[in-house]
């Protein structure tokens, strides 16, 4: 498991997006939309990335994020959803200084052995921000179990992002994470 620079991730972007597509069960054409988005994310303040590799130097897991803030699509969507349900002070407490866990994916043939948690812990170790926020599709998944085990709380449930009909949950927790036991 290593921290990847933007240059290193760009060199393996096709492989990284393939991990994402396999983990999420998306169609192959998703790569054409995601690769440019991931490249743009690499330019954001506080961006950091962790990759896990097997003995054949194949990417088996990827996680990245950056400081979330005004003007970013995800930030604006989440802020709008939270303001519809909570006081401005509560929303500000979560959205004024946070690390957005943008992507965390483990190749399906490598899931279930703690790799996702290891990547997440390494990514959040020293991450900027007072909190970490993420969105994940609703439903009982390994990801849900991981986030609950690590103390993430519900900020929004059954939320619909613009352009996606699926229900999502927005979860958050204060940083830093507690050390592993």
Cβ atoms of 21 and 31 closer than 8 Å: yes
Report how far apart the first and last C-alpha atoms of the chain are (Å, whole number).
20
- 3-state SS assignment for residue 162: coil
pLDDT score for 69:
97
Active site residues: 147
- C-beta atoms surrounding 11 within 10 Å: 12
The pLDDT tens digits of the residues spanning 14-50 come to 999 999 999 998 888 888 999 999 999 999 999 999 9
Using CA atoms, how far apart are residues 174 and 163, in angstroms rounded to an integer?
Answer: 29
pLDDT score for 181:
67
The pLDDT tens digits of the residues spanning 148-170 come to 999 999 999 999 998 888 899 99
Q: What residue ranges define each of the domains in the chain, with the CATH number in brackets?
A: 2-174 (3.40.630.30)
Please report how the helices 142-149 and 115-124 are oriented relative to each other, as an axis angle in degrees rounded to 10. 50
């Amino acid at each position: 498991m290593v921290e990847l620079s933007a240059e290193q991730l760009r060199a393996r972007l096709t492989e990284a997006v393939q991990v994402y597509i396999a983990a999420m069960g998306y169609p192959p054409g998703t790569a054409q939309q995601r690769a440019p988005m991931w490249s743009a994310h690499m330019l954001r303040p506080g961006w950091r990335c962790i990759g896990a590799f097997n003995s054949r130097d194949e990417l088996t897991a990827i996680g990245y994020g950056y400081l979330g803030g005004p003007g970013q699509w995800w930030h604006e969507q989440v802020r709008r959803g939270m303001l519809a349900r909570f006081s401005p002070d509560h929303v500000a407490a979560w959205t004024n200084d946070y690390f957005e866990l943008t992507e965390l994916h483990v190749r399906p043939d490598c899931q279930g052995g703690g790799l996702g948690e290891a990547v997440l812990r390494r990514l959040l170790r020293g991450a900027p921000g007072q909190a970490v926020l993420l969105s994940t599709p609703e439903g009982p998944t390994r990801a849900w179990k991981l986030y609950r085990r690590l103390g993430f709380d519900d900020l929004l449930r059954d939320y619909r992002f613009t352009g996606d009909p699926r229900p999502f949950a927005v979860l958050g927790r204060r940083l830093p994470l507690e050390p592993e036991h």
